[in-house]
Each structure stands twice: as structure tokens, then as C-alpha cells.
Amino acid sequence: MNRRANIFRRMSRPQGSARLADATEGLEQARVLDRVIRALSTAVRRTLPPGPVKDALHGVPFGHPAHPPLTDAPIGFWVSAAVLDLMPGGRRASQTLVAAGLASAVPAVLTGIADWSALHREQQRVGLVHAAGMATASTLYSLSLAARCQGRDAAGRAFGFAGLTALFAGSYLGGHLAFRQAAGASHADQVGHLVPLGWHDLCAAEELPDGWPVHRRLGYIGLFVLRTGDDIHVLADRCSHLAGPLHQGRIVTDDNADTCVICPWHGSTFRVQDGSVVHGPATARQPAFETRVTDEGTVQVRPY
């Protein structure tokens, strides 16, 4: 009996990868980081107000977050430098790659800061440690470049390999943010999978107040519904940025006189006519629906 119990205990112990994942998930609850996060978030908001620059850093013009693809450049340069450091005759090329990695890290840092400032607190905790790891990597590669320029190649390679270690640690946390915490992914309901083709009865038109958004359900999903005069606009209610409730948002008019809704959580702004993004941090279009009113006064919807 004791032998079988011991075997069970050995099998139930978390393996190395599981312990690493548990430690990373523990960062999500690390409230000790909150004071630093509040100070940094306030500084970012003051330095980077809403507008075209912030939208570009989020990736609004490109339709998806700008930060993840920009991180490929410094990672690629620095990994390549490490490979050349292991081979004879690659001194000058390695030095060039280290410098290119430092230069390409600048836009990655700026876009990362913009995205980080508009995340949930649990995501910001992991993101702060991720940023610290990447800052450590950048510092070590700066020391590596300085040593290489002074002809101290051995020290340059040593700093480079130390930087590579910090780079991999920071990248692991970046992967946790992207794939486990879904930072940057669209959080809007997948309408194409959840709503059958064709028209669907939603509610009576007379139930809808004029100029005031309301929440309605269509099967598995919640909908944002806004009536403005004779027009009825319907969007998926979960904001594509981080699933904020759009029906609780503020209705505004943009520079083109189009009616828009501002998400109450992080300020993403969507055009109610088609769900297109006007201002970030959201980068993915909000799923929208065609609408019509039957002779009986029933509002019907179908996905675009």
C-alpha cells in the first residue's frame, strides 16, 4: 500500500515545465508589483495621450498589434550574432548584428509600452517582468557592443550570451502574455462560428430607446444595439480589445460625423455602422450585423 502511495506522489509532482508555468501564473497575482505599475501607467498615459501616434503604436492602421512582429527583428539579430560568435571569422558580422538588434529594439519597446498601458492588471504584472527581462537583455547587449568596439571580443561574446539568456527569459513571458493571457488577441465573439446564416429575430423595434445603447442576446452571444432615428446598429457586445461591454460605453460622433461607441474599459472607439476601429487600443474590427425591421415591427439581424 505504501509503495503504491509513494508512486502516486511521485507521479503527481509537477514536472519542470509545469513548475515553470505555475511560477509564471504566480506573477499574475503578484500584487507587490502594483505600486510600480500604477506609477508607470500614469506616466505613460500622461506622456502618450490618445491620438494618431498612440493608435499607430498600438497597430490600428495595420489591423493587428504592431508590437509582436516588431520583436522578431531584435530577437533574430541577436540569435544570429550568437551563432556567429561560435564560428571563426564572424567578429565584424557579429558586432553589426548586435548593433542592428539594439536599433530595432527601439520601436519594439515603444509599441510594447503603449500596449502594456492598456492591459488588465494581471496582464500588466506579467508584462512588467517581461519588460524587465527585455531591458536586461538590451543592457547586456549594449555592454557587449561597447566591449566589441573596444576590441575586447571575449568580453563582448560573454555579455552577448548573457544577454541571450535574458532575452529567452523575457520572450517566454511575452509568450505567456500572448498565448495564455491573450494580450493582443481579439476578444470579440466569433460571430461566424456562433451565429447561423440568414436573418434572426432580435426584439421589437419599439423596445429600443432612441440614442441609447442597450444589450440584447442572440443565442450564445451578447449584442450592442443602438437606435438612432430610423436606423438600428448592431455590433457584437464584447470589445475586441479585452471583452469590455460596449453597451455600457459612451456614444460620440467622430471627425467624419459618424456615430461611434467608446468602450468603457480602455477607451477603444468603434464606428457603429460597420464596427471599424476609429481609435485603439483595439486593432481588430468589431463584428457587425445587418439589420431590418419587418412589417410586424420586429428587428432582424444577420452577420455581415
Same domain for 146 and 270: no
In eight-state DSSP terms, residue 267 is -
Same domain for 51 and 176: yes
Domain that holds residue 41: 12-180
Q: What is the pLDDT of residue 2?
A: 54
Same domain for 156 and 38: yes
Same domain for 276 and 202: yes
Same domain for 251 and 227: yes
Q: What is the pLDDT of residue 8?
A: 43
Confidence of residue 7 (pLDDT cuts 50, 70, 90): very low
Same domain for 232 and 167: no
Confidence of residue 20 (pLDDT cuts 50, 70, 90): confident
Same domain for 211 and 169: no
Question: What CATH number is attached to the domain comprising 247?
Answer: 2.102.10.10
| 258-274 pLDDT per residue, tens | 999 999 999 999 999 99
Query: In Å, what is the CA distance from 230 to each residue of 20, 202, 226, 293?
Result: 56, 16, 11, 10
Residue that terminates a domain, selected from 180, 210, 244: 180
| Overall domain count for the chain | 2
Give the Cα separation of 180 and 126 in Å (integer): 11
Residue that terminates a domain, selected from 134, 159, 180: 180
Helix/strand/coil percent split, the chain, to 5? 55, 15, 30
Span of 70-74, 77-81, 252-256 with lowest mean pLDDT: 252-256
| 201-258 pLDDT per residue, tens | 999 999 999 999 999 999 889 999 999 999 999 999 999 999 999 999 999 998 888 9
